[in-house]
Chain A
Amino acid sequence: MISPIFYIFAAMMIAGGLMVVLLRNPVSSALAMVLSFLGLAGIFTGLNAYLVGILQILVYAGAIMVLFIFIIMLLDLKKEEKIHHNGLVLFIGILLPSVFMLQLAGVLMTEQTSPTAPELNFTETVDDYPEESIIHKKLKTERLPDVHLIGQKLYKDYNFPLQVIAVLLLSATVGCVTLSKKTSNKSSD
């Protein structure tokens, strides 16, 4: 019997995802997406990835979803009236994911004994860090200094990708400004 908390969060995630696809009002879809990401953040926390879980809530449920809802309100989108679905598209849209899920279930069934998460061992790397560092102190007290370890990794091993990402964000900002500038040379219509 696996801990029911995992299943509660997983059910939240899947129910939110289904609601995004099934609800006809875009605002409801966006709010269902927040529910889905909250469930996902709970699962991340259960996997000892505390920083990623918090980022999921802050960046996705906080920033990105607010942006979505803002745009939906800005464009003043109405609830979609009862749409006559193109039968072929609906069929393909249900068939493709179902085939994908069947494949995945088939692959997972072949594995007789699925691995459980290995125990974390805090004492093994404790001597790699200087005596007075926070990582050392926390590892000594059997706690996972998640954020500090990620920071070490990010600024030591992933320094160049971090700078590339900074350039990417800058160019995205410039692109947004360029796109949203009113073209003044158009004839007034």
Chain B
Amino acid sequence: MPTPTLNEYLFFSGLLFAIGLGGVIIRRNIIVIFMCLEMMLAAASLTLVAFSRFNTVKGLPDYDGQMLVFFVITVAAAEVALGLAIIVSLYRARQTINTDQLTTLKG
């Protein structure tokens, strides 16, 4: 049973990234936009892990790539906590999380 090639991993990672990008543009619910951002980060992580596996150093996977994934996950956790705090204060101030109605900065 042959294993998947690098192109397959990169293609699925790109597909997930594209879905996330589409969601960020199309959706208006700010929490769903935030979830789509997380999906784009996860897609980038998949690329990193795939390259780390396909580039072996002394017969073992290149763990530098996985370290970057580790830090990405850490920063994403901090970002989610802060972002949701901002969304809650936004909801308190405006009573909506629909991005169409948040037009304070619109010129």
Contact = CB atoms under 8 A, between A and B. Distances in A.
B2 A116 contact: yes
B32 A153 contact: no
B61 to A, nearest CB: 6
Contacts of A150: 63, 66-67, 70
A8 interface: no
Given A56-B73, A97-B18, A21 B26 contact: yes
Interface residues of A, number: 84
Interface string B15-40: 11111111101111101101110110
A101 B14 contact: yes
Interface string A50-70: 011001100110011001100
A96 B21 contact: yes
B18 A108 contact: no
Contacts of B28: 80, 83
Given A52-B49, A60-B73, A75-B97, A93 B22 contact: yes
> For chain B, which range describes its interface: under 10, 10 to 19, 20 to 34, or 35 or more residues?
35 or more
Interface string B64-78: 101101110111111
A125 interface: yes
B67 A154 contact: yes
A18 B19 contact: yes
A120 B12 contact: no
Contact of B35 (A33, A77, A105, A123): A33
B102 interface: no
B60 A104 contact: no
B4 A29 contact: no
Contacts of B38: 33, 60, 64
Given A72-B31, A168-B75, 9 more contacts: A1-B2, A21-B23, A29-B32, A33-B38, A47-B52, A104-B14, A120-B59, A124-B59, A149-B63
